[in-house]
Structure 1
Amino acid sequence: MVTRLFSTVISNQSHSAITAVWNLNYLKLSSVFILIFALSGVIAPAQEDTLEVRIPDAELSAETQYRFAQAFFEAQRLKSIGNEEEAFSAFMKCAEINPNHPTVNFELGNYYLNEGNTAKAKEYLNKALAVDDSNVWVARSLWEVSKREFDKSAEAEALRRLMRLDEANPEYIWEMAMVHLEMGEPDSAIAKMDRLEVLLGPNTALTDQKIRIYLDEGDYASAETLLKEAIQKFPNQSEYRGRLAEFYKQLGRKDEAIQVFQEILEINPNDPRAHMQVAEMLFTQNKVDSAQYHLRKAIGSKDLGIDPKVGVMGVFMQLADSRPSVLPFAFEMLDTIISVHPHDPKAYVLKADFSIRANRPMESRNLWRKATRLPGGDKWVVWQEILKTDAQLAWWDSLQVDAENVLELYPNQPGGYFFLAISHLERQQYDEAIAALEDGELYAMGSPELHQQFIMELARAHHLAGNYDESDDYFKQLVDRNQYDALARNNWAYYLALREEKLVFAMNLIDQAIELRPHEANFWDTKAWIYYRMKNDERAFEAIEKAIEYGGSSSPDIMEHRGDILSALGRMDEARSAWNRAIQLGGNADRIRQKLDALQ
């Protein structure tokens, strides 16, 4: 998008001022003159207290001139009191008397222009221009017409006319440069800007615009030359050095970029942006020690806002996934950010994100809670992380309290209801869970994916509450709505297997799920459990081995089921090994030990 630079620098004169100039040029009358005119019927010679009138059409009779003068001054009087409609009618009467009068045509043209009728505006303005093509105000109005019609060729012609009338006017030169750009003529635009710079002297706005044009055109050599020239023109401004360094960086010329940033640091050793950029490039070159020095300077600066610091720490977050050794330095920087920006919630949220990646959920939760107590930090996205962490820590009582707090703040946020329901489900408070899910479902309908999760949890809650018909109804909704919903089919099949009901139908459901996602360990576990409930232990073992093949050996539930199936097959030593593994993985130790004790 092209910026109209001079629109706020060079103000246009009003139409009343324009008209005043026309009046001085073409019709200079006084009350004395009108009296003489009315009495004599002829144009009076100029006198000390009179103003002369110049009627462009010298062939008008004295009587016609008199009628015209009366009509014209009535039109001007009506216009001066703001009665535009009657003034327009009066000017039209003037045009009937003298259709070639430039002031009248100018007034009529501007009236139509203000009404949005650009065709009629052009008609009258061109009549005025035909009488005197040297009048700048007619030319400006025609320029305005061209802009309103989005006619770039006409706008270029209007601007060329204006530049002939006032060749040193910077507004016209700049606007002509903008028109060249919009017409796809960057070289001509640059030429106009060069001309403008001769008039105005060194100008950062012009330099910036020319650099953008060169970059947009892919003329990197010219952009580089101009940046270097700008550094010479404005030696006390580090901005152009910074832009040259960024230019080198974008082109992959990192050594040159670092050199320019170093020049900036020689001028201002505490420039945090230069330190930040140098640090980022040095890290990519694996020059860790030097990079850390510059990053400490940038992060510790109070002259740099928090957002660039958040951005660079985001790079560290990605790096930490593959190189955990960077975490100690990252946490040092995070603590510095908090010390420099103690009242900004972003500082605490940023450290919380790192803490959760470092498997410090309690620390993360405390940091997120600090963020919510600061201005601007009490946001749903922060509370959502607190709720997720409560669930991760299995702090069901805290999850309930936090979810209820969230719903006071965000009563239309379905996530609050969802986590509240989870807190009740995990404590076997099924009626409360169902009530929360039913309330939240109303707010989740705007998101098909989220609404599906609510229906799934309602199906689970009703199953756990023993409301099997209601559970089946919700699962049926999910299956009927989406033929590709493998998870709904698996879950419904598994609950039917637990209830030992409709096992053939359950097998059909799980076969559909496996067809959709054939390498899902949990689905093969469900199939195994259906066979187990059917007393088909051999087929159950084949299915549970598929679950193990697809990663089920890390699941305590799948390992427990494997032990159950092996026990049914009489393979007790293998069953004991599977059950012990399930306990190691965090399975229900009390229940599994009962099975182990039964083997004694």
Structure 2
Amino acid sequence: MRPIVVHSVVALAALGTLIGCATAKKAKAPAAAPTAKVAVTNAPLTKDEMEKRVEALARFAAGVSGELREQPDEALDQFYKSVLADPTNEPLAIDVARRLIRKKESEKAIEILSKCAEQRSATGFVDALLGIAYQQAGKTDLAIAASRKAIVKLPKALLGYQNLATIYLQTNRPKDALAALDEAAALGVTEINFLLELGEAYRNYVSVQPRQFESVKAKVMATIEAAAKLDPKGQNLIFRLAELFSFAGEYKRAAELYVKLLERFPNQAILRNRIVELYLRANDLKAAQAQLDALVRDQPTNPLAHYFLGAIAAEQKNWEKAIEFYTKTIQLNEGAKQEFEPVYYDLAGVHITNDDAEEALKLLEMARKKFKATFLLEFYSALAHSRSKDYAASIKHFTAAELLAKRDEPERLTALFFFQVGTAYERHKDFKQAENYFRQSLKLAPDFAEALNYLGYMWAERGENLTEAKAMIEKAVKQEPENAAFLDSMAWVLFKLNQPKAALEYQLKALKHQKEPDATLHDHLGDIYAALKQPDQARAQWEHALTIEPSEAIQKKLKAAVPAKP
């Protein structure tokens, strides 16, 4: 049965109004709307007024009967007619109007709220709700006027300002929306609910205008810092404050508030999950792991706890532990109504990084049997095949990933994605397609150093577009002047441009900054020395390259080179 507690409370308030007479004492404010004052007069009721009140009471009783018989539409119609008969009953008018607005019956809501607003005792709550009804009906000017009237009557309440912000956002006037919220903030109200609601209103503004986050963040922080100083104790208040800190990017502050709640409600696993998520976002891995360890002790079969532990291990590059925790997540989640798909791709990514493409492909084949084809499934399959140097298969899966993303998730088609596809095509010797994808990558991210270097080096290696290649590599080197790969590319393009002296300077820098021995760097240095007519140095570098990695090409160079002087 539908609960009728609220209506019972309203009924008590209504009865006091409906049966008022010349001898009535001053009525108390109705419990349903404490700030609403009921109009009471010592003047006797006219015959017409008495008939209206009797009708209102009868309609109200019929509405309650409809509620008891679980006939909500019939009940609402009777309550609506009750308010029309006696618009002085503000609590009932507000309750009925809210229901009508939820049912999109805005004209009926406007009708009863307008009548109620005409009463001398009408509060700003009526005008605020009238503003919402007008906006739903597409009457923007009237909605703004009603909301402004609510602000005049309730200058220290947020409702009117919230209405204005919502109306302005819906009518593509974001500057006016923000100004309304700033006007409310300037009131200097230091009441906890006001501050939290204001912070939430700013958050709603950003949800519509996401590019304005940075410009609004300081205002949000000022609001929620003021709320935090009030040290709220209620569970709901702390929750709302924590979520506002999270919205502002203050993840650690949000987590600390949830920790306080967890101390009071230690059996709420959902709180610990949220704390872990926030600490991870704050990159406080130690704090996140402490919470997860506690969660695993309490709930050793909780797959989500193991998943997050795997994520932390992966972040710390502890691949063995990451594999252990991710594998445990899959085992614990096996047979669930809805299996946790992301863990398959995270674990595949760890296997690929750990140079175990075979295990990654086995896992992805399992995922392919369980889940429908998605961008991530095809993307990780492409990466695994690239790692195993099966570039034809890699390109096949990259193509599938691209098509799925275009259809379902276009935001996946990033500069990094196109770069990775380009590298697969380059290694497959399809240089035209490689160039195409590198250019797509650079169109999205013109300063993407890895793509600038890769395309520039590919051209230099092939002796193509050398001037453009040099310009690209220069941009990459400017961003990372100690990157050995970029310096090597710069040396090589200069070498290809017949500038061996300039190339030598960059090649020596590349060797200086290499993090581990690289045969290619010594091979290139040997070629540069040969071009500079320094055969002994050239031979020494080629021989050194062979100690790092065997190469038939370098062996041929040594055989063809002028023998070293005795």
For residue 227 of structure 2, the aligned residue among 337, 359, 365 is 337
Distance 1:425 1:247 in 2: 52
Which residue does 1:368 correspond to in 2? Answer: 254
Which residue does 1:353 correspond to in 2? Answer: 247
* 1:488 matched to 2:377: yes
Which stretch of the first structure deviates more once superposed, 209-218 or 429-438? 209-218
* 1:568 matched to 2:454: no
Alignment of 1:38-187 (within 5 A): 174-175=61-62, 178-179=65-66, 182=71
SS at match of 1:451: coil
Distance 1:379 1:401, change over 3 A: closer
Distance 2:459 2:368 in 1: 33
Distance 2:477 2:259 in 1: 41
Alignment of 1:186-585 (within 5 A): 189=78, 193=82, 203-204=89-90, 207=93, 223-224=109-110, 226-231=112-117, 235=121, 237-253=123-139, 256-257=142-143, 259-260=145-146, 269-277=155-163, 284=173, 286-287=175-176, 291=180, 294-296=183-185, 300-302=189-191, 304=193, 308-318=197-207, 321-323=210-212, 324-340=214-230, 344-354=238-248, 356=249, 364-375=250-261, 378-390=271-283, 404=293, 407=296, 414-445=303-334, 451-481=340-370, 484-500=373-389, 502-514=390-402, 516=404, 525-526=419-420, 528-534=422-428, 536=429, 539-550=430-441, 551=444, 553=446, 555-571=448-464, 577-579=471-473, 581-582=475-476
Aligned-pair CA distance for 1:434:
0.8
Deviations 1:461-487 (A, max 9, x none): 334444443233113223455573444
Which residue does 2:556 correspond to in 1? Answer: none
Distance 1:421 1:588 in 2: 33
SS at match of 2:121: coil
Aligned-pair CA distance for 1:543:
1.8
Distance 1:448 1:587 in 2: 52
Aligned-pair CA distance for 1:387:
0.9
Question: Is this contact kept in 2: 1:338–1:348, CA < 8 A?
Answer: no
Deviations 1:261-320 (A, max 9, x none): 555555554334345445665784845796356312567341735653343122332365
Question: Is this contact kept in 2: 1:6–1:174, CA < 8 A?
Answer: no
Question: Is this contact kept in 2: 1:231–1:241, CA < 8 A?
Answer: yes
Distance 1:561 1:191 in 2: 71
Aligned-pair CA distance for 1:412:
5.7
Distance 1:322 1:508, change over 3 A: closer
Aligned-pair CA distance for 1:435:
0.6
Distance 2:99 2:287 in 1: 58
Aligned-pair CA distance for 1:386:
2.7
Distance 1:257 1:235 in 2: 21
What code does the residue aligned with 2:434 have?
A: A
Question: Is this contact kept in 2: 1:244–1:260, CA < 8 A?
Answer: yes
Distance 1:194 1:372 in 2: 44
Question: Is this contact kept in 2: 1:272–1:297, CA < 8 A?
Answer: no
What code does the residue aligned with 1:329 have?
A: K
Distance 2:393 2:193 in 1: 64
Distance 1:191 1:529 in 2: 68
Question: Is this contact kept in 1: 2:456–2:469, CA < 8 A?
Answer: yes
Distance 1:338 1:175, change over 3 A: same
Distance 1:322 1:492, change over 3 A: closer
What code does the residue aligned with 1:174 have?
A: A
Question: Is this contact kept in 2: 1:493–1:507, CA < 8 A?
Answer: yes
Distance 1:593 1:401 in 2: 43
Alignment RMSD: 5.1
Deviations 1:81-126 (A, max 9, x none): xxxxxxxxxxxxxxxxxxxxxxxxxxxxxxxxxxxxxxxxxxxxxx
Distance 1:470 1:236, change over 3 A: closer
Distance 1:439 1:260, change over 3 A: same
Distance 1:426 1:216, change over 3 A: closer
> Please, which runs of 5 or more residues in structure 2 have no aligned partner?
13-53, 264-270, 407-412, 491-506, 508-520, 526-566
Question: Is this contact kept in 1: 2:56–2:81, CA < 8 A?
Answer: no
Distance 1:353 1:211, change over 3 A: closer
Distance 2:300 2:106 in 1: 54
Q: TM-score when scaled to structure 1?
A: 0.55
Question: Is this contact kept in 2: 1:564–1:575, CA < 8 A?
Answer: yes
Distance 1:565 1:314, change over 3 A: same
What code does the residue aligned with 1:371 have?
A: L
Distance 1:318 1:183 in 2: 34
> Please, which runs of 5 or more residues in structure 1 have no aligned partner?
11-166, 357-363
What code does the residue aligned with 1:469 have?
A: E
Distance 2:55 2:401 in 1: 78
Distance 2:479 2:294 in 1: 34
Question: Is this contact kept in 2: 1:562–1:575, CA < 8 A?
Answer: yes
Question: Is this contact kept in 2: 1:320–1:326, CA < 8 A?
Answer: no
Percent of counterpart pairs with the same letter?
12
Question: Is this contact kept in 2: 1:320–1:327, CA < 8 A?
Answer: no
Distance 2:482 2:285 in 1: 18
SS at match of 2:193: coil
Aligned-pair CA distance for 1:436:
1.2
Question: Is this contact kept in 1: 2:127–2:150, CA < 8 A?
Answer: yes
Question: Is this contact kept in 1: 2:168–2:177, CA < 8 A?
Answer: yes
Distance 2:219 2:56 in 1: 58
Distance 1:389 1:531 in 2: 37
Which residue does 2:40 correspond to in 1? Answer: none
Distance 1:327 1:281 in 2: 22
Distance 1:256 1:505, change over 3 A: closer
Distance 2:56 2:422 in 1: 86
Q: How many residues align?
A: 425
